[in-house]
Amino acid sequence: MPMDDLLSEFLTETTESLDVVDMELVKFEQEPNNAGILDNIFRLVHTIKGTCGFLGLPRLEALAHAAETLMGNYRDGAPVTQDGVSLILQSIDRIKEIMGELEANETEPEGSDEDLITQLDRISAGGCASEDDSAPAASAPVEAAPEPKATPSDVAPPAPKAGEATLDELEAAFAAAPSPEGMDVSPEAAAGVMAEAASSSQQVDDAAPEMAAAPEPEAEPEAEPEVAEAPREAPPEAKAASKDGPVKNQSIRVNVETLEHLMTMVSELVLTRNQLLEMVRRLDDSEFKVPLQRLSTVTAELQDGVMKTRMQPIGNAWQKLPRIVRDLANELDKKIDLQMHGADTELDRQVLELIKDPLTHMVRNSADHGLETTADRVKAGKPEIGVVKLSAYHEGGHIIIEITDDGAGLNTEKVKAKIIDNGLATQAELDQMTEAQIHRFIFKAGFSTAAVVTSVSGRGVGMDVVRTNIELIGGIVDVKSETGTGSTFFIKIPLTLAIVSALIVESSGQRFAIPQLSVVELVRTHNNADHRIEMINDTPVLRLRNKLLPLMALSKLLDLQMAENVLTDAVPEAMVPAEAPAIEAAIDEVEADSQEAPAEEVQAMPVPAEEVAGNSEPAKENADDNLFVVVIQVGAQLFGVVVDSVFDTEEIVVKPMSSMLRDISLFSGNTILGDGSVIMIIDPNGIAQSVAQTTSSTDTAEIEDEKHLTANDDTTAMLVFRAASEEPKAVPLSLVTRLEEIDAAEIERANGRDLVQYRGVLMPLVYISEETQRKTEGQQPVLVFSDQERSMGLVVDEIVDIVEDKLNIEIKADDMPGMIGSAVIKEKATEILDIGYFIEQAFDDWMEQREGVSLARGARLLLVDDSAFFRNMLAPLLSASGYSVTLAESAKQALDLKDRGIQFDIIVSDIEMPEMDGITFAETLRGDPVWKDTPIIALSSHTAPHIIERSRQAGFIDFVGKFDRQGLMESIKDCSTQLGAAA
Amino acid sequence: MSDIVNLEHGVDQSAEEYITVMIADQLFGMPILEVQDVFMPETVTEVPLASQDVAGVLNLRGRIVTAIDMRKRLGLPDLEENKPRMAVGIESNGESYGLIIDKVGEVHRLSDETFEVNPANLDPRWVAISAGVHRLDGSLMVVIDVEKVLAQKETVIAA
């Protein structure tokens, strides 16, 4: 059905055009002498008119024609009046209405537009009845036409000299404006066209008075087609003249469905890849490893690419705002300047759709409530024109949108009164709150600051709805306001909803995913530790940094029972709940320095999946003793969700719940994990609603916290503990595999050494020094370090904290065995342990027993790293594995070694280094004959795909995460094996 | 087990092909065109807070399938534990569902002549999923109306 196709094409195109017209018209009203804008509008409306005629849509055609006529007059220099523009805007609204019907019924609706057409014609005819009272227009006449043609009789004779100049200028600009087709034409030809355009416009000019006298539809087309053609042949270089023109040749239209399908397929691919990775991870030495890594990178890139196709500039959501603000300004009799920055900031179209309405509402609010009336502004000594500024930018995986007005700011006293009136808080409570906390009440349900309910806002839809909508997509909203100078609203939303990073937790034997975005920190509770769950009238709470955190048990929220599912016998190994303390090292007490921080820490933990999965002891026994609290923030609400254990973070593909299950508000979707099982994704908003009643006391949780507590790339998560002496000691958290508490009675002594049965094997225990207390009863805390199948337990007295801090090792402790040096952590001098030393102690046979060591023995290895810490950390490990290690503090130092003619078998280099970075270093080496063939392994804390790709191009043969000790050892082993084979 | 027997292609215009399934001791039939596949439901994840007749969700070749326990839906006692169960995969509006039944039988080609509407005294929970009954030699086959199965959810709990 070709007609239908045509029609739908027309509808899509016209809707887009109309949105542009809307925006351009508002701009035009402000700059009536900008011929470029007028031309753009004129052309768009003209196209609409033409297409309507072609498709046989008389109503639309007539309306578009009348509007076009009026605009034609403006283009010919008639003064632009506010009434006129309003009328055109109304006509465009009507056109939209008709189009809506057209879309629904495929025919034009019955009805007449005589009302609008008559008015349009009247103004076109010069009957500008209201011209005199339209102050803004009068104050901004067409610049190049100093003698505005006030009456039609003035227009009738050939335009006066000044008018002609205007016309020429107008036409020149007209011709210069790019057309959608943007045909290339030689300059000479263009010149001719310009002349033609000028003459044709003369005709228009002549035609205009005729039309003014008798506005018949036929009067115009005579002249119009030529004019419309002129821009089509505009010289290409003229494109730069107008930035407003659309540029279309770089893009194609793709059906949204196609994109969605593509996205689904990529999601499937991601899942399959995760599954494969999971499988290969269990195999020790698999030939699939390398191609799988490649597949992994490619998949990540593909995912990136497809996500990009879903990205749309946020400006799309802003398109209607200028019009809204303009109408608002008229209605409220304010002068408003809407500024928009970062309109090209992109975000997922799904997210875009969802924030459109909240954004519109907030801009309306700023214009209505935020800005004072003109009179008030003048009184306050501010410029008459109020500014509403909208800006968007990326920050991390988020997009930040700010809506700023330079109005009066929130009236704290009024807000307070309102809070008390509505019973949201008591005076006493308010007295203890900061201004910012009070301001946040405007997001509470049933709050509206406008003393007078205007037609604009305050229709019962308050900021609470805005907040709800934003939180629905995992965003947060906040306000900062200063009396007298204005308010700023911040919206922080995720870029996409399709793939999220989630924390996998377990409760009552079932696993669930909690989106990382809302997880602030993880706390491990213990009956006899600092963090223990306390009860107030059977309501669990947790003391967390001098605040009470309301807790909800996930099992209770979800009404979970341990009852055996009929089908659980078919559950594979991997689904069996792991022992609770599996990765508690990462979790024991994570000082959340930012929302992202805990995620990184958990991820950085080397917890091989098989260790989590392989241990099938049920977690029930110490159910109350060892629980984890996932601290979640939703908006300003902070609460803890109690779970039995925490596994890992995973990138999950969010799949919607089937419609049969969609009404369960606690789940936002489900997903397939790497092991193939399906788990539910918890919706933090849903939980927040369940907890809502209990949170008034903690509602004050500062969103600001987030801002000053930014995670720094240079920081290292350190596990601080006490052992042997009072001074705190620390090891990088990433090196610790687990924290365990071992029953002291289970410690056995054999061969002069303490051992404990751990996961089916004997694990040697090592003491920091002889002074370490040996407990004979009770629980003995132990740090477990694992290297391949071997584990070693370091006995400590007490685990103090996990601290994210900049690591700056100050004193090299030569005299103290097992110490790398001291560093100031949390303002306390802390000794940093050399784990390599203790591993040697635990396994004096370490070297003999290590597989592949014979090949490695003697292999000369150069380690280049600017961080003393890493050099000191890795060197003993590498030596212990049989390599002969040379250290270099910088690339330059390494190159010096090269120049001195020293040869190495393998080079391991950091990527991020001052002066010469690893990439440059590798490139230098590849270009140099001496070390050209020495394999070089990259070490970096950034494992972003593009960095990996870059380092590969630079000549690194492998890329290992800085904390992936095991990965590094394997990579080096592979390298030396190849060397051995080659030799 | 999952073999579907005898996919014969007759010529009778008014006839329709059904896959027969057993739930408890009753023979049911589902229009073959509605059935996507037949599989063994493994590793079904329970969905907390879902209505009782939702057995859970499972991963079937990368798709998430919502499994409906037909015994629960029909108000029948649970199948003894450890007995293998089967599921019939169906699709609706791009979503995948699996009806968990006891076992799958064969394919029957049945004409309108043997079809009857639901008997008036049938249990309402059965009526809620049944399109009618086919009189077969020696047994009666209740026709499962897939749309009806997927449409209702709350009524089951009430019943």
- ipTM at complex level: 0.83
Q: What is the rounded distance in angstroms from the CA atom of residue A13 to the CA atom of residue A50? A: 13
Please report whether residue A250 resides in a domain: no
Of B44, B45, B97, which has the smallest distance from its Cβ to A658's Cβ? Answer: B97
Cβ B57–A566 below 8 Å, yes or no?
A: no
Cβ contact, residue pair B81, A655, below 8 Å: no
* CB-based contacts of A232, cutoff 8 Å, min separation 6: A179, A181, A183
Q: Which of A280-284, A443-447, A494-498, B19-23 has the lowest mean pLDDT?
A: A494-498
Is residue A535 located within the same domain as residue A671? yes
- Substitution target from B39, B59, B150, B154 for chain A, most A beta carbons within 10 A: B59
Residue A417 resides in a domain:
yes
pLDDT at site A139: 38
Residue A664 inside a domain? The answer is yes
Is A479 part of any domain?
yes
Report pLDDT for A715: 59
What is d(CA A671, CA B64) in angstroms, rounded to the nearest whole number?
A: 8
Distance from A410 to chain B by nearest Cα, in Å?
A: 43
**A898: distance to nearest CA of chain B, Å?**
53
Residue A251 falls within a domain, yes or no? no
User: Which residues in chain A are closer than 8 Å to B78, comparing Cβ atoms?
Assistant: 566
Give the model confidence (pLDDT) of A626-662 as tens digits: 788 999 887 677 889 999 988 888 777 777 788 888 7
Residue A190 sits in a domain whose CATH number is: 1.20.120.160
Would you call A565 and B81 a contact, using CB atoms and an 8 Å cutoff?
no
Per-residue confidence at A220, pLDDT binned at 50, 70, 90?
very low
Which tens digits make up the pLDDT trace of A253-270? 788 788 878 887 887 788
Query: Is residue A631 located within the same domain as residue A679?
Result: yes
Question: Mapping DSSP to helix (H, G, I), strand (E, B) and coil, where does residue A762 land?
Answer: strand
Question: Are A460 and A579 contained in the same domain?
Answer: no
The span from the CA of A981 to the CA of A769, in Å, is 42
Residues A230 and A266 in one domain: no
Number of compact structural domains in chain A: 6
Between A and B, how many residue pairs show a Cβ–Cβ distance under 8 A?
A: 83
Inter-chain CB proximity A570 and B42 less than 8 Å: yes
Mean model confidence pLDDT for chain A = 70
| Contact between residue A2 and residue A9 where contact means Cβ atoms under 8 Å apart | no
Max mean pLDDT range (A57-71, A171-185, A197-211):
A57-71
Among residues A823, A842, A861, the one where a domain terminates is: A842
Is residue A184 pLDDT above 80, yes or no? no
A 10 A CB-CB count for B21 gives 25
The C-alpha atoms of residue A831 and residue A820 are separated, in whole angstroms, by 8
pLDDT given for residue A759 in this prediction: 65
Per-residue pLDDT band for A790 (boundaries 50, 70, 90) equals low
HSE-up of residue A945 (Cα within 13 Å, Cβ side): 13
Which of B54, B57, B148 is the best mutation test for A, with the most CBs of A within 10 A? B57
Q: How far apart are the first and last CA of chain A?
A: 73
Please identify, among A797, A813, A842, the residue that sits at the C-terminal boundary of a domain: A842
Asked if A551 contacts A641 with a C-beta cutoff of 8 angstroms, the reply is yes
What is the pLDDT at residue B132? 92
pLDDT of residue A18 exceeding 60? yes
Angle, CA A499 vertex, CA A498 and CA A503 arms, to 5°: 130
Mean per-residue pLDDT, A216-233: 39
* Min distance A632 CA to chain B CA atoms (Å): 20
Rounded Cα–Cα distance for residues A740 and A799 (Å): 10
- Same domain, residue pair A77 and A213: yes
Q: In angstroms, how far is CA A821 from the centroid of its own chain?
A: 39
Domain that holds residue A277: 256-310
Shared domain check, A950 and A835: no
pLDDT at A461: 54
In a domain, A249, yes or no: no
pLDDT exceeds 60 at position A121 = yes
**Domain assignment present for A465:** yes
Confidence label for A4 from pLDDT (cuts 50, 70 and 90): low
Minimum mean pLDDT range among A323-327, A730-734, B103-107: A730-734
pLDDT of residue A845: 52
Among candidates A565, A660, A667 on the partner chain, residue whose Cβ is nearest the Cβ of B46: A565
Whether A549 has a pLDDT exceeding 80, the answer reads yes
Last residue of a domain, one of A842, A866, A887: A842
Q: Are residues A120 and A233 in the same domain?
A: yes
In this model, does residue A337 exceed pLDDT 60?
yes
Q: Do B82 and A680 touch (CB under 8 A)?
A: no
Task: State whether A484 and A341 are in the same domain.
Answer: yes
Disruptive mutation site among A261, A264, A557, A658 for chain B (greatest number of B CBs within 10 Å): A658
Q: Which of A283-297, A618-632, A714-728, B122-136 has the lowest mean pLDDT?
A: A618-632
Q: Which of A22-36, A82-96, A407-421 has the lowest mean pLDDT?
A: A22-36
The answer to whether A533 and A551 have CB atoms below 8 angstroms apart is yes
- Residue A703 is classified by DSSP as S
Edge-to-edge strand ranges of the sheet holding A476-482: A336-341, A386-395, A398-405, A486-494, A476-482
Beta-strand (E) ranges in A453-485?
Answer: 476-482
pLDDT at B138: 87
Task: DSSP letter for A372, please.
Answer: P
CA distance A633 to A326: 37
Contacts of A294 (CB under 8 A, 6+ apart): none
**Residues A483 and A581 grouped into a single domain:** no
Note whether A659 contacts B93, CB cutoff 8 Å: yes
Type of residue at A837: Y
Structure tokens at B103: 């076992």
For residue A302, the domain's CATH number is 1.10.287
Q: Do A672 and B50 touch (CB under 8 A)?
A: no
Higher-pLDDT residue of A610 and B6 is B6
Are B50 and A661 inside 8 Å of each other by CB? Answer: yes
Are the beta carbons of A658 and B64 separated by less than 8 Å?
yes
Confidence of residue A904 (pLDDT cuts 50, 70, 90): confident
Q: Does the pLDDT of residue A321 top 70, yes or no?
A: yes
Q: Any idea where the domains of chain B sit in the sequence?
A: 16-158
Backbone angles phi, psi at A134, to 5 degrees: -85, 85
Asked if residue A440 and residue A426 are part of one domain, the reply reads yes
Residue A873: inside a domain = yes
Instruction: Provide CB contacts within 8 A for A529, sequence distance 6+.
Output: none
pLDDT surpasses 80 at A844:
no
Contacts of A658 in chain B (CB under 8 A): 57, 64, 66, 95-97
> Span B16-158: which CATH code?
2.40.50.180
| B62/A271 CB distance under 8 A | yes
Instruction: Indicate whether A246 pLDDT > 90.
Output: no
- Does residue A585 register a pLDDT over 70? no
| Coil, helix or strand at residue A419 | helix
Amino acid at A46: H
Q: Which of A823, A818, A802, A805 is nearest to A739 (CA)?
A: A802
pLDDT tens, N- to C-terminus, chain B (159 residues)? 444 444 444 445 567 899 999 998 899 999 999 999 999 888 899 899 888 889 999 988 778 899 999 999 998 888 877 778 899 999 887 789 999 999 999 998 998 889 999 998 988 889 989 999 999 888 999 999 998 888 865 444 433
Indicate whether A422 and A545 sit together in one domain.
no
Q: Return the pLDDT at A571.
A: 36
Residue A783: closest CA among A829, A718, A727, A874: A718
A236 shares its domain with A270: no
